[in-house]
Amino acid sequence: MSMHTVTFLPHNKKVSVNDSDVLIRAAMEAGVHINASCGGEGVCGKCRVIIEEGEIEGGISEKLNQEDIDKNYCLACKSLVKSDLTVRIPVESEINADVLNRQAMPRKTARIRQTNFDDLKEKGLFMPPVEKRYLELPVPDASDHVPDVTRLINYLKMNHDEHRLVVSLPVIRKVPEVFRKDHFKVTATLSRPVQEGRKTHIINIQPGDTTARNYAIAVDIGTTTIYGQLIDLATGEVLAEYGDFNGQISYGEDVISRIMYAEKAGGLETLHKVVIQTINKVVRKIVDQSKVDLEDVNNITLAGNTTMTQLLLKVDPRYIRRAPYVPASTLYPPLKAVDLDIELKDHANALVYPVVSSYVGGDIVAGVMGSGMYRTEEVTLYMDIGTNAEIVIGNKDWLACAACSAGPAFEGGGITFGMRATQGAIEDFSIDPLTLEPMIITIGNVRPKGICGSGLITMVATLFELGVINNSGKFDRDLKTPRIRETDGVYEYVLAWRTETQIDRDVVLTEIDIENLIRAKGAIYSGALTLLEEVGMSIKDVERVMLAGGFGSYIDLEMAITIGLLPEMDAEKVVFIGNGSLMGCRMSCLTNRIRFDVVEVTKRMTNFELSETPSYYERYIAALFLPHTDLNQFPKLKARLESRRKNGVSPNKT
């Protein structure tokens, strides 16, 4: 994809963007504030900029008159970058350069860790759990009339060095006909053992050479959303991806209410059936999209939290929510997809990630396996951020984990205008430090409906760093702006006025919202600290942070550190892996090494019950500030805040 450089004047800030990126996003990334309150739909008309050089597409709206257009004005939120550009922020949008340079830093989005297929191959780890082998067998005659299956096994040994083979009954049933369909030219599908040294199962036999067609499916079963990917096992490529709401949502929002429903007569069967229906819908979508033959989909790997896993497998989850919180099992045996009523062919394997405990589930194990943290020397802190946040610390020698209830703030729960990271969610935000006018960007560049996790973090961090809110998350009562107001006794900041939204109401961020976010980040940060203490370490010993979760397509690292969700550390050390569960399932489809290792790793993951660790509560209370009661844990932030207090401009006060 071709890249363009956009230069913003008068501050001469440069940013490199993809062709056809939206100009206002380029500005946000460059740390250039442009007032904008409609999310990018072009209705507020505030984000006027002047194109001095280069080419854009669009950018015109009824908010601009002919005179504006003649002067090369356009709306940044409607302009697509088509070449290198020089863009001037006009006087009416401009603010003190000094302020700008300090306040709005370029975004330090965590690097997204992606599957590096070549890397896997180089390390000798590319070894899918299902492989195909093509054979041209000699036709039997009077001097060579071993049974068909014996012929198959003999030649797999001889020509492909395949040993310790087991043939399933359905394959035996197909063999006589398939052998004779194309003159004894056949492709055998081999399913590798889940443990090293155990047997390889021949799970399918096809006439002719079909080795180029070998696919697997990865599925993350979230409490709310189910994501699937279809993976080409020949190339490692993700051919299709699809997500849908978990059909169980109608039976309860969270795992506890699901378990309660499962305890009713027929409840378990219903929840099982419903989640399978969603999985089947996802499977159908990605198979259709990628136009592969269902016959060539040989594997499905699934991961979910412990409750989702038990419901998937129709295992009564009632003891998960009752002290002493005992799950049925950690490991589940390899299955066939059809055993679970997943609509794949009879021969397709189904693998379900093991769980550690009632609240550290297969989604986390998948993240630990897929991210490779269990194979590295570096001490890694893995955090899966959601309603239930899970934390894993360790490396190739040891692993410790814990779960804490963060509350649903990161997924939009308990936030007045909270919403998931879908179309219309405010996902990025900056603010004019003098006027406190916002620049908001929504997913899909449409008028805002609400706020998603990453947007929330950025807002609270920005407001805190600018002094608009204090370290308890309370608004400065003296600021002179119509955007900060008291409604029914609660202070709030208006992100978008009613006319600029999709919902015919002002979209606001309240002090209660901020409190909920602080509680959520406090639970996670203190959980990590407690877990570190339990293993005799401190935050300084952490060499890498891996961030997983579905709270937005990216998270701004500085912002996450500013609110005290993450410990202060080099951006280079942080990777964002997005949906860790899905990633782990995908990696399982590409390297059977994970299945060889996962049982041992799961056993090695020592589970700590934070609720039984008294120091957790103390740490939690200490973390209920921005970023923390002990600002010394965040030395860079502390320095920045002190510098701002001395030199910075302040918002207009009454």
Binding site for a second copy (CB under 8 A): 140-142, 144-150, 166-169, 172-173, 175-177, 198, 313-316, 318-319, 323-333, 335, 339, 355, 357, 612
Cβ distance to a second copy smaller for residue 32 or 315: 315
Token representation of residue 209: 């050479």
- Backbone phi and psi for residue 509, each to the nearest 5 degrees, phi listed first: -120, 120
Cβ distance to a second copy smaller for residue 310 or 462: 310
Cβ distance to a second copy smaller for residue 86 or 168: 168
A 10 A CB-CB count for 334 gives: 15
Cβ distance to a second copy smaller for residue 126 or 325: 325
- Least Å from the CB of residue 612 to a second copy: 7
- Least Å from the CB of residue 319 to a second copy: 6
Nearest CA-CA partner of 244 in 186, 199, 284, 205:
284
- Least Å from the CB of residue 365 to a second copy: 13
- Least Å from the CB of residue 329 to a second copy: 4
CB 137 within 8 A of CB 185: yes
CB 32 within 8 A of CB 100: yes
- Least Å from the CB of residue 314 to a second copy: 6
Give how far Cα 575 sits from Cα of 413, 453, 566, Å: 25, 17, 12
Nearest CA-CA partner of 546 in 569, 522, 574, 521:
574
Burial class (CB within 10 angstroms; exposed 0-12, middle 13-18, buried 19+) of 469: buried
Nearest CA-CA partner of 649 in 496, 431, 474:
431
Q: Which amino acid is at 195?
A: Q
Cβ distance to a second copy smaller for residue 4 or 272: 272
Is 523 strand, coil or helix?
helix
Strand pairing report for 238-245 and 297-304: unpaired
- Least Å from the CB of residue 222 to a second copy: 22
Is 91 strand, coil or helix?
coil
Residues in the chain: 654
> Residue ranges of the alpha helices (H) in 297-344?
306-312
- Least Å from the CB of residue 306 to a second copy: 9
CB 253 within 8 A of CB 334: no
- Least Å from the CB of residue 273 to a second copy: 15
Q: What does the radius of gyration of the chain's CA atoms come to, in whole angstroms?
A: 28
Cβ distance to a second copy smaller for residue 224 or 330: 330
Interatomic CA distance for residues 497 and 440, integer angstroms: 12
Strand pairing report for 185-191 and 165-167: unpaired
Q: Which amino acid is at 238?
A: V
Cβ distance to a second copy smaller for residue 319 or 497: 319
- Least Å from the CB of residue 169 to a second copy: 6
Cβ distance to a second copy smaller for residue 149 or 631: 149
Is 294 strand, coil or helix?
helix
- Least Å from the CB of residue 594 to a second copy: 19
Cβ distance to a second copy smaller for residue 84 or 609: 609
A 10 A CB-CB count for 653 gives: 9
Cβ distance to a second copy smaller for residue 1 or 169: 169
Is 473 strand, coil or helix?
coil
